[in-house]
Amino acid sequence: MRPQTEAIEAALNELAEFSIFQGKSREQILALCEGGQIVACAHRECLFQMGDEATFFGIVLSGAFKLSRPSLEGEDVIMHFPTAGDLVAAFILTQPKPVFPVTATAMGSSRFLKLPKETYLTSWKAHPELIFKVQEMLATRMSILHDQKVLSKAPLSQKVAVLLMTLFKKNPNDLGFVNPPLTRKEIAESLGSSVESVIRIMSDWSKQGFIRTEDLQIQILRPEKILEQATFSAKS
Amino acid sequence: MRPQTEAIEAALNELAEFSIFQGKSREQILALCEGGQIVACAHRECLFQMGDEATFFGIVLSGAFKLSRPSLEGEDVIMHFPTAGDLVAAFILTQPKPVFPVTATAMGSSRFLKLPKETYLTSWKAHPELIFKVQEMLATRMSILHDQKVLSKAPLSQKVAVLLMTLFKKNPNDLGFVNPPLTRKEIAESLGSSVESVIRIMSDWSKQGFIRTEDLQIQILRPEKILEQATFSAKS
DNA sequence: CGCTCGGTTGATGCACATCAAAGGCTGTGG
DNA sequence: CCACAGCCTTTGATGTGCATCAACCGAGCG
């Protein structure tokens, strides 16, 4: 048995938890991960670059990544924050000569299970329910984009509130920590605004005791208050 | 033979042209359209409402629709403009109890082939290449959303230029007509801006002879000039 | 000890939204 | 056949949310 396969077997417990593999036996999961290898990424390490030929897809095992694209002015715009259990780049592989449409960068040290394109186009393809699950995940991601687009004319505070609550609800947490941990810059890049504006809004919330920040960890102390910001464009 | 099936057979020539059915025989296409019915929609007629239970999906046969969602302020935000050959609502059907995430409204009189959800979950599911094609179409749609998101900080003129050129390239046309025909309001709702601003930008282009508008039909006279607006955030 | 990185604050300006008003065009009902 | 209501477009005046620029601070790090 090759070392890679061993490593994947070691990660099997994690994999079995992920929604994409619900209802699959350990053997089936191993088969679906054929040819895979686990990659450990340090903070800010790049998993793949936009424009690279897409020879693989994969699943985030732990930590988080940001998927971003540079704008014409050279600033990055963040499209998505895949976290543990999320599929990355699966749905573009159906194209004849697929190319990554975004750059993936690790946020904090993260682990990623890299699977060859062929595995998707053969083993995965043979399981319609699996492909349907991929489609479902894609649909939720699309829905996030829609949610953000609806806010295009909304005040920035509302956008920040929706972003924080979306991430918070995606990976709930007793202590109210937003996952993944974000810098204000990343929030700004995700919303298409400037760091300073985000800071002004969030320090306001901090002063009012709605949130608390400690070392990138954003803690939501008063979810109701943030939700209020998100649902009304309330101004005082 | 039931009248519905006859109607679909009559539309078979159209269907066979669509990329989703490339490589399929007429019999196969008929089988994939089982239980379908052709719906004729008048201008502004609603095909389905956001929040309705999704019991069907379908293909635009002719004309175009707009997929929109109301914002909190009650204004509509347009997410997409499906035109002839485009799939609508296919990829949300994999969810347990799917609900339309947007409202679909006809732009001009249009025809739509309505197919029951079950057809997707059984006949279509059995054809992996077909599902992959659905995924591919979904990926291009996602990519459009990404393209727009990248422009979030760009000047409005750039957004308008990109929108027009995207639609133009999607359904090319000797005369340079943008398809589907759009009102300035629809452009604004699609970009999250105001009608007046869009008008100011476009009448400017009209005066410079880049475009021409006649009865909702927008004609691009100087694609290079519009592209220039789209690629540089050039200001004079 | 200089460096980078994240956060913060204040001053200034501009690209747009918003409000207001008006004209053309189409369909519709009295 | 006219009146009226909607819809689309246009133009001008006014206001403002947020980007931008410019500094500065503390913390971690090689």
CA dist., res. A190 & res. B142, Å (int):
16
Q: Are B20 and B134 in contact (CB under 8 A)?
A: yes
Residues in A closer than 8 angstroms to B78, CB to CB, are: none
Closest alpha carbon to A48 in A101, A121, A4, A98 = A101
Q: What does the mean pLDDT of chain A come to?
A: 92
Q: Are B160 and B187 in contact (CB under 8 A)?
A: yes
Question: At residue A140, does pLDDT exceed 90?
Answer: yes
Q: Which of residues 184-213 of B touch strand D (CB under 7 A)?
A: 184-185, 195-196, 199-200, 202-203, 206, 213
Residues in B closer than 8 angstroms to A193, CB to CB, are: 153
> Which tens digit of pLDDT belongs to each residue from A156-189?
999 999 999 999 999 888 888 999 999 999 999 9
> Which tens digit of pLDDT belongs to each residue from A206-222?
999 999 998 888 988 88
User: What is the spatial distance, in angstroms and rounded to an integer, between the CA atom of B202 and the C1' atom of D6?
Assistant: 23
Closest alpha carbon to A36 in A132, A126, A141, A111 = A111
Residues in B closer than 8 angstroms to A71, CB to CB, are: 150-151, 153-154
A108's CB contacts (< 8 A; 6+ apart) are: A43, A63, A64, A180, A181
Instruction: Give all domains of chain B, ordered by start, each with its CATH number.
Output: 3-148 (2.60.120.10), 154-229 (1.10.10.10)
Query: Where is pLDDT greater, at A96 or A235?
Result: A96
Closest nucleotide C1' to the C-alpha of A200: C8
Six-digit token pair at B117?
């959800």
pLDDT of residue A233: 53
Cβ of A123: how many Cβ atoms within 10 Å? 17
pLDDT band at B3 (very low <50, low <70, confident <90, very high): low
Residues in B closer than 8 angstroms to A146, CB to CB, are: 69, 79, 101-102
Report helix, strand or coil for A52: coil
With residues binned 3-state (H G I as helix, E B as strand, rest as coil), the percentages for chain A, rounded to 5, are 45, 25, 30
Six-digit token pair at B27?
């019999």
Average pLDDT over residues A136-147: 96
pTM, to two decimals: 0.93
> Which tens digit of pLDDT belongs to each residue from B84-130?
999 999 999 999 999 999 999 999 999 999 999 999 999 999 999 99
Query: Which DSSP symbol is given to A96?
Result: S
pLDDT band at B229 (very low <50, low <70, confident <90, very high): confident
pLDDT band at B5 (very low <50, low <70, confident <90, very high): confident
Average pLDDT over residues A47-56: 97
Least confident of A52-66, A95-109, B3-17, B60-74: B3-17
B199's CB contacts (< 8 A; 6+ apart) are: B184
pLDDT of residue B4: 73
CA dist., res. A151 & res. A82, Å (int):
21
Q: Which residues pair with B46 in a beta bridge?
A: B105
Least confident of A18-22, A104-108, B8-12, B147-151: B8-12
């019991």: which residue's tokens? Answer: B55
Of chain A, the percentage scoring pLDDT greater than 70 comes to: 97
pLDDT of residue B235: 40
CA dist., res. B69 & res. B38, Å (int):
25
Please tell me whether any atom of strand C lies within 7 Å of the Cβ of A200.
Answer: yes
Question: At residue A202, does pLDDT exceed 60?
Answer: yes
b/e B167-182 (16+ beta carbons within 10 angstroms → b)? bbeeeeeeebbbbbbb
- First vs last Cα of chain A: how many Å apart? 66
Nearest to B101 among A94, A143, A232 (CB): A143
Nearest to A71 among B126, B139, B150 (CB): B150
> Which tens digit of pLDDT belongs to each residue from B129-153?
999 999 999 999 999 999 999 999 9
Question: At residue A4, does pLDDT exceed 80?
Answer: no
B35's CB contacts (< 8 A; 6+ apart) are: B115, B116, B118, B119
Strand C nucleotides, any atom under 7 Å to a protein CB: 5-11, 15-20
User: What is the spatial distance, in angstroms and rounded to an integer, between the CA atom of A229 and the C1' atom of D5?
Assistant: 38
CA dist., res. A41 & res. A46, Å (int):
8
